[in-house]
Amino acid sequence: MKGADLDEIEALYRSRFHAFVRTAAAVAGDDDSGLEAVQEGFATAVRKRSTYRGEGSLEAWVWPIVLNEARDRLRRRTPAVPGASEPTDERETKDEELRLALAALPERQRLVAFLRYYADLDYEGIASVLGIAPGTVAATLNAAHAALREHLEGVRS
Amino acid sequence: MTDPLGDALHRLVPAVAVEPDWADVLARADARVPLHRNRRVWYVIAVAAVVLGILVSPALGLGDRILDFFTGSPAPEPVKQALAFGTNAGDPEIDELMHQQVDSKVIVGQAHGLLAVQTPAGLLRIWGAPTSDGGLCTYMRVGGASSGWLSCETPASDSGPFIGSADERNEGGKTVRFVSGQARDEVASMELRLVDGSTLPVRMVGSFFFRALFPGQEPAALVGRDSSGDVVSELPATLGNLGGVLPPTYPTGPSHQVFVLATDIGQITMELAPGPDRKRCWIVTAETSQSISCRRVRDLEFDLGPYYNPEQTDRIVLVSGLVDKRVRSLRLEFEDAESVAIPIVQRSFVYELPKKHWKTGHRPTRLVARGSGGEIIAHKRVVPDGL
């Protein structure tokens, strides 16, 4: 076991802070929860840094910790009341459709999409975070694209 | 971003305008980090920069040159603090299971310089402090780095004339490779045999020995000799062979899931994947940690180690690994003469070790793999080197 250096964790936190917050916000459902997830996730990483085995990048080790924090916050959220906030224009309507389509995706597809677009991770990076093969990342992202396209076309037809 | 999905996602969750707050992270972490005292494990410890009364000539060059005047010099306070960290008892239950329970204390007052060695990554300084059980904690730091590596070892009574390993550490993009360890009194000199058959002398300071490795020097074996020059012991010295940091090996193809376990710390999955050089990989994933092992499986390969929940308030211990196609059954035997059959699925296995088998007198002793006729294909001792 290697153990992670506190300085390395801090450097990762500072250099990738906005990517972590944005992705965690997408998973948790709002910016505040995303920020909380990142702060708590990195605190957990600091506490358990001795368990980092050094078998992958430090970033790949920290991501699951933060994502789990974000998922916990999503679970604790009060479900939105349907119709409480009706979209007011075409753009908002499209965004709402997209949110619903995203929510309908399997969790792995959602995570792959978030890590690709919000965290700006490449296939190798996503594979390391999720513990799957890069080929699986590509296939999952393709499936997410297809599912969203199908969903949105279904909504509009 | 050019594809519609990307555009839409970026619109849905715009970039956030908050700033990082590292102090808040540290406050939440409340910074006491549990560590486990093992026979051979490296910790990375950040301490304040140390100012030493040593002037190093820039003309030292690269030659594994030893700066003798460093040896014996009292360790500065930040180094003592780092060495004192080795007393941290960590997790007593896991220590007991791993045959690592140590009641010793680091005798910080005796901390002193062991060696200063010029390496490709810069000047490497090594300090040491004895432990009350006859072991040694060492603290290494290269160049002007703000962090160093702590290693505490207490040779077991049955560990032979010396314990040691080859290790590799990275600092600022530079790599430090070395062999190090501890030898008993019967070992008068140490040498390192390289894969090309040549040998290099290994410096000894008391019980501690060390040799920096340079590009092209691939270690094969550590050899200890007595005062007559006779070989008293020889150990393979491939990188990480006795703990430390294994060179990373990653799967080379897609993985597929074989096991899903529901445990006290959440769901654990195990996946299989091909690895390089005819190795096979098994990937054990807990909620916030992952272990990837890639080995060439001649008969039986396994790991034993703890996995923690995110809060580190609970942990489990898993025995996981691979067998070759001849193996049809697997049995784990314990100190109390009990044994348990471990199911094999797709030439792999994972078993959660019950807590009753973490205790002295009940710990696992060996894994026995048998073929279709009941014949023993392999039996391996379950005595881990570290976590």
Q: Phi, psi (5° rounding) for residue B9?
A: -65, -40
Q: How many CB atoms lie within 10 A of CB B63?
A: 11
CB contact under 8 A, A68 and B287: yes
- Crossing angle of helices A90-104/A134-156, nearest 10°? 130
> Which member of A22, A55, A61 has the closest CB to residue B13?
A22
Which pLDDT does position B158 carry in this prediction?
A: 60
Nearest CA in chain B to A71: B287
- Where do the domains of chain A lie? 1-77, 90-157
d(C-alpha B133, C-alpha B155), whole Å: 9
CA of B20 vs chain A CAs: smallest distance (Å): 6
User: Is residue A22 over pLDDT 70?
Assistant: yes
Check CB contact under 8 Å for B273 and A133: yes
Instruction: Say how far apart CA B168 and CA B135 lie, in whole Å.
Output: 22
Q: How many CB atoms lie within 10 A of CB A127?
A: 25
Size of interface A-B (CB pairs under 8 A): 159
Query: Mean of the pLDDT values across residues B325-342?
Result: 93
Contact B280, B292 (CB under 8 A): no
Q: Which of A3, A22, A39 sits opposite B28 (nearest CB)?
A: A39
From the centroid of its chain, how far is CA B40?
6
Q: Give the model's confidence band at B351: pLDDT under 50 very low, under 70 low, under 90 confident, else very high.
A: very high
Tell me the β-bridge partners of A53. none
Selecting from A55, A64, A118 the residue whose C-beta is nearest the C-beta of B248 gives A55
Beta-carbon contacts of A136 under 8 Å, excluding residues fewer than 6 positions away, are: A127, B254, B255
Domain A1-77 -> CATH class: mainly alpha
Q: Provide CB contacts within 8 A for B256, sequence distance 6+.
A: B271, B272, B273
Which residues of B are less than 8 Å from A145 in CB distance? 3, 5
Check B246 against A64: CB less than 8 A apart: no
Q: Please give the backbone phi and psi of residue B86, each rounded to the nearest 5 degrees, phi first.
A: -65, -15
Whether B248 and A40 lie within 8 Å, measured CB to CB: no
Local structure of B219: helix, strand or coil: strand
Residue ranges of the alpha helices (H) in chain B? 4-12, 22-29, 77-84, 92-97
pLDDT score recorded for residue B341: 95
Find the CB nearest A47 among B9, B273, B312. B312
**pLDDT tens string B47-73:** 322 222 222 222 222 234 444 456 677
Mean pLDDT of chain B: 74
Query: Dihedral of the CA atoms B32, B37, B40, B44 (nearest 10)?
Result: 10
Task: Copy the structure tokens of residue B35.
Answer: 């560590």
Distances B118 to B65, B122, B219 between C-alpha atoms, Å: 6, 6, 18
Chain A positions touching B254 (Cβ under 8 A) are: 132-133, 135-136
- The answer to whether A48 contacts B42, with C-beta atoms less than 8 Å apart, is no
Please indicate whether, in this complex, the C-beta atoms of B44 and A4 are within 8 angstroms of each other. Answer: yes
Span of A44-48, A92-96, B238-242 with lowest mean pLDDT: B238-242
Among chain A residues, CA nearest to B17: A18
pLDDT band at A157 (very low <50, low <70, confident <90, very high): very low
The DSSP H or E segment spanning A143 is: helix A134-156
Q: Chain A: nearest CA to B9, how far in angstroms? A: 7
Measure B373 CA to nearest chain A CA, in Å. Answer: 37
CB within 8 Å: A7 and B147: yes
pLDDT at residue A85 tops 60: no
- For the cut 50, the answer to whether the pLDDT of residue B117 exceeds it is yes
pLDDT at B21: 83
Phi, psi of A41 (to 5 degrees): -65, -45
| Chain B residues touching residue A68 (CB < 8 angstroms) | 287-288, 310
Higher pLDDT among residues B320 and B38, named by residue: B320
Question: Per-residue pLDDT tens for B245-283?
Answer: 334 456 778 889 999 999 988 889 999 988 877 889 888
Candidates B1, B12, B270, partner chain A, best to mutate (most A CBs within 10 A): B12
Are A131 and B33 a contacting pair at CB < 8 A?
Answer: no
Topology agreement, domain A1-77 and domain A90-157: no
β-pair partners for A130: none
Backbone angles phi, psi at A156, to 5 degrees: -80, -20
What is the interface pTM, i.e. ipTM, of the complex?
0.85
**Residues from chain A contacting residue B8 (CB–CB below 8 Å):** 94-95, 98
Record: contact B255-A50, CB cut-off 8 A? no
Contact B22 A13 (CB under 8 A): yes
Specify the pLDDT at position B22: 82
Best of B98, B288, B289, B318 to disrupt the A interface (most A CBs within 10 Å) is: B288
Confidence of residue B218 (pLDDT cuts 50, 70, 90): confident
Query: Which chain A residues contact residue B9 at CB under 8 A?
Result: 26, 113-114, 117-118
The rounded distance, in Å, linking the Cα atoms of B70 and B62 is 18
Interchain proximity B25–A13, CB inside 8 Å: yes
Strand partners, B364: B334
More confident residue, A82 or A51: A51
pTM of the model: 0.38
| Inter-chain residue contact B42 with A50, CB threshold 8 Å | no
For residue B342, is pLDDT > 50? Answer: yes
The CATH number given to A90-157 is 1.10.10.10
Contact (CB<8Å) A135/B31: no
Q: Identify from A91, A107, A111, A117 which residue to disrupt to test chain B contact, counting B C-beta atoms within 10 A and taking the largest count.
A: A117
Chain segment B233-249, per-residue pLDDT in tens:
887 776 543 333 334 45
| CA R_g for chain A | 17
**Cα of B328 to nearest chain A Cα, Å:** 28
- Sorted by where each begins, the domain ranges of chain B are 34-236, 256-381
